[in-house]
Structure 1
Amino acid sequence: TLGVRLEIINAGTVEIHAVPTDVQPGNEEATLEGMLQSLEDVGRLPRERRREGIAAVYAARQAMRRGDRLSGGEMRALVRDLFACFVPHLTPHGEPTYIVIPFDELVQRFR
């Protein structure tokens, strides 16, 4: 489940009964439209890749966003969970999850 519960009232009306807890009040419709667009994109995938595509949509919904503040425990759990993944170096959409900065370059950046 993606955390959404809907009821189709008629051809032009959908009643939203539940949305993921991280959806801000007033953003339900826009969030739902974005999720439906993502799922429509998944529908274009070859049949054998659709389950993977739905998992990617779900993972993206649960992802941390730039600027999110995390506690020390949340940071440790994030790194632990990342490296428990089958492919920890890439997001479900193929983006890198981390970069390696040589120590010398790190020193240069903080001079």
Structure 2
Amino acid sequence: MTAYALAHLQPPATLPEEVFTYMERIQATLEPFGGRFLVHGSLPEVVEGPLDGMYVLIEFPGMDDAKGWYESDGYQAILPMRTDNMKGTAVLLQGVPEGYDPAATAAAFRALQNP
């Protein structure tokens, strides 16, 4: 099942050179794990709520691939170039299966909430 790496980043007004180097090197860390950018550096069109920053969304074939990439020596070597220079949050998310039914999820959550 597809998995995603999602980052909400708050870059400074002027990006330090290390951030550009990080951006130049990240693709090579993704390739061994089947990762590909779906969103990178674009500012979203806000339709609800406040927004501060930008988003990055990377797709992986599965959660093991996403974890493998994040924990890899290659990515860990460049990660401080970003984290030392901009605030942000990054998460790994499991996607939903083919034919996903949000109504079934609502029913399951409702049952947990009202035993």
Class of the TM-score when normalised by the shorter of the 2 chains:
under 0.3
Larger radius of gyration: 1
TM-score norm. by structure 2 comes to 0.23
Greater share of strand: 2
TM-score norm. by structure 1 comes to 0.24
